[in-house]
Amino acid sequence: MNIQWFPGHMAKTRRILAENLKMVDVVIELLDARIPVSSKNPEIDSIVRNKPKIVVLNKADLADEKVSNEWSRWYNSQGYATIFIDSLKGTGIKQLKDKMRDIMKDKFERDKQKGRIFRPIRTMIVGIPNVGKSSLINKIAGKKSAVTGDKPGVTRNKQWINVNSEIQLLDTPGILWPKFEDETVGINLAITGAIKDDIIDTVELTSILLERLSQAYPEKIKERYKIESLQDKKGYELLEEAGKRRGCIISGGEVDFTRISAIILDELRGGKIGRITLERPGDVVLAKGDEKHDHKAD
């Protein structure tokens, strides 16, 4: 399944990030806890370079807790500063604020000794579309400061938000990259909603999803879609059976594959199938030049 998407405003976003980086103390890279590999834009590290960075994994409430613990151990072994959050409920927000203060503590202490006036920590939040940047900002700020939406590309322009006397946040539009080197990356992004449904074949996408879930989470699939046996069934067959069980039938008794695909994708994204993670630490391959990020500000 070939998925490619690089609209014009993505190139503009890359320029926005690069141009505003010099004003920023700490970068928050927001990933999707269900797909930590696929939701990591490989261009971010080359843009951010040596700026202190915190890797924040959002939608942790939708991810498999056991696998998230595996990811936590993996990130620690790599020296990453990481925090798992739920930006809608606010879980992990206090921990994130504390981490920002910790990273900047030494720098502000040096500034104080030099007689420099205290200023807020300037933070840039970066990530792919629909990963929850605006929801995170609203939770950190404790108010509705940023435009949010459940469709990719809602945040179009940069905007500074004053959280309090300690923290300023720079929200930026979501940024994807020009080409997915690994087909699985594009598929994972499409499954979780980072790529708009109207530019992909949702039937093929959902067939792939069901086949993968039948291997990784068989009991969840059987329970949710009342499929008695998954043995030797391909994704398309599973999709057809789920469609029959849910009554997605058109004239002639045929399954409405478009309708059942939309239902399954919606239920996966809403956590109704259960807590699911599509990638494990064993899937990760660090990009050449990727650096560890648990360091203090210069």
Q: Which residue from 245, 277, 240 is spatially nearest to 261, judged by alpha carbons?
A: 240
Determine whether the annotation assigns residue 220 to a binding site: no
| Distance, CA of 39 to CA of 36 (rounded, Å) | 5
Q: CA-to-CA distance for 26 and 45, rounded, in angstroms?
A: 13
Number of Cβ within 10 Å of residue 230's Cβ equals 18
Name every residue whose Cβ is closer than 8 Å to that of residue 107 and which is 6 or more positions away in sequence.
25, 296, 297, 298
Work out the number of other CB atoms within 10 angstroms of the CB of residue 88. Answer: 15
Does the annotation list 135 as a binding residue?
yes
> Is 297 assigned a ligand-binding role in the annotation?
no
Distance, in Å, from the CA atom of 175 to the CA atom of 190, rounded to the nearest integer, reads 15
The closest of 65, 292, 29, 35 to 180, measured between CA atoms, is 35
> Any binding-site annotation on 58?
yes
146 annotated as ligand-binding = no
CA angle 162, 167, 169 (to 5 degrees): 60
Q: Any binding-site annotation on 86?
A: no
Output the six-digit token pair for 115. Answer: 């007689």
174 is in an annotated binding site: yes
H helices of the chain, in order, are 8-20, 44-48, 65-78, 93-113, 133-141, 183-192, 202-216, 218-225, 235-245, 257-269
Is 133 assigned to a binding site? yes
282 belongs to an annotated ligand binding site = no
> Regarding beta strands 26-32 and 82-84, do their DSSP bridges make them parallel or antiparallel, or are they unpaired?
unpaired
Q: Summarize the annotated binding site as residue ranges.
A: 58-61, 130-135, 174
Q: Summarize the annotated binding site for GTP as residue ranges.
A: 58-61, 130-135, 174
